[in-house]
Structure 1
Amino acid sequence: MTLRKSAGSRAAHALERRIPMRDFSRSLPMALLRAREAVMKQFRPSLRRHGLTEQQWRILRALSAVEAIEVTELARVAFLLGPSLSRILRDLEARQLIDRRTAKDDLRRGVVSISQKGLKLIELVAPTSEAVYAAITQRYGAQKLAELQDMLAVLENKLATLEATDGGPSESER
Structure 2
Amino acid sequence: MTSKLPNTSRSLPIALIRAREGVMFPIREMLTKTGITEQQWRVLRVLSEFGALDTSTLANRASLLFPSLTRIATTMRNKGLISQKRDDKDRRRQIITITEAGQKLIDDYTDQSAQIVVGFRETLGDKNYEQLLDLLEQLDPGSKQPRA
Scaled by the length of structure 2, the TM-score of the pair is: 0.88
The answer to whether structure 1 residue 72 and structure 2 residue 43 are counterparts is no
The answer to whether structure 1 residue 124 and structure 2 residue 108 are counterparts is yes
1:3-40 deviation per Cα after TM superposition (whole angstroms, max 9, x unaligned): xxxxxxxxxxxxx5x54322233221111111111000
The answer to whether structure 1 residue 101 and structure 2 residue 85 are counterparts is yes
Q: Which residue of 2 aligns with 1:28?
A: 12
The answer to whether structure 1 residue 85 and structure 2 residue 69 are counterparts is yes
State the Cα distance separating 1:77 from its structure 2 match: 1.3
Which one has the largest radius of gyration?
A: 1
What CA distance in whole angstroms lies between the structure 1 residues aligned with 2:110 and 2:30? 10
State the Cα distance separating 1:84 from its structure 2 match: 1.1
For 1:31, the aligned partner's letter is A
1:60-86 deviation per Cα after TM superposition (whole angstroms, max 9, x unaligned): 001111221110111111111122111
Q: Which residue of 2 aligns with 1:58?
A: 42
Q: Percent identity?
A: 37
Deviates more, 1:109-118 or 1:19-28: 19-28
Q: Which residue of 2 aligns with 1:49?
A: 33
Q: Which residue of 2 aligns with 1:154?
A: 138
State the Cα distance separating 1:154 from its structure 2 match: 3.1
Listed as ranges, the gaps of 5+ residues in structure 1 are: 1-15, 161-174
Q: Which residue of 2 aligns with 1:114?
A: 98
Listed as ranges, the gaps of 5+ residues in structure 2 are: 144-148
- Give the alignment's Cα RMSD to 1 decimal: 2.0
Partner-residue secondary structure (3-state), 2:32: helix
How many residues of Structure 1 are paired with residues of Structure 2 in the alignment? 144
Scaled by the length of structure 1, the TM-score of the pair is: 0.76
1:138-161 deviation per Cα after TM superposition (whole angstroms, max 9, x unaligned): 22212211121122223436x97x
Q: Which has the higher contact order (CA 8 A, sep 6+)?
A: 2
Deviates more, 1:138-147 or 1:114-123: 138-147
Partner-residue secondary structure (3-state), 1:112: strand
What CA distance in whole angstroms lies between the structure 1 residues aligned with 2:137 and 2:64? 19
Partner-residue secondary structure (3-state), 1:106: coil
